[in-house]
Amino acid sequence: MDTSSLIWGMLFGSIGLGFFVYGKRQRAIVPLLAGVALSVLPYFVSNVYLMVGVGIALVALPTFIRR
C-alpha cells in the first residue's frame, strides 16, 4: 500500500461516514448508498487514480440525484 492510497482512503471513508449518517437520519436512500459505497471503496480499489475518480463521482452523486 502507498501513503497516498491510505490518505485518500481515509478521506473518502470519512466523507462516506458523513453521507451514511445523513442519509440514515433523513431517510434518504441516495446519500445512504453513496456513503456505504464511499466507505468500502478503499477496500476494493487499489489504484490511486481510479480511487480518486470513483470517489469524486460518488461524492457528487447525491448532488445530481435527489430522492
Sketch the domain layout of the chain as residue ranges.
3-64
**What mean pLDDT is reported for the chain?**
93
pTM of the entire structure? Answer: 0.89
pLDDT above 90: residue 1: no
The per-residue pLDDT for range 12-59, each reduced to its tens digit, is 999 999 999 999 999 999 999 999 999 999 999 989 999 999 999 999
With a cut of 90, say whether residue 67 has pLDDT above it. Answer: no
Q: Are 19 and 34 in contact (CB under 8 A)?
A: yes
Q: Which of 58, 65, 66, 63 lies closest to 8, judged by CA?
A: 58
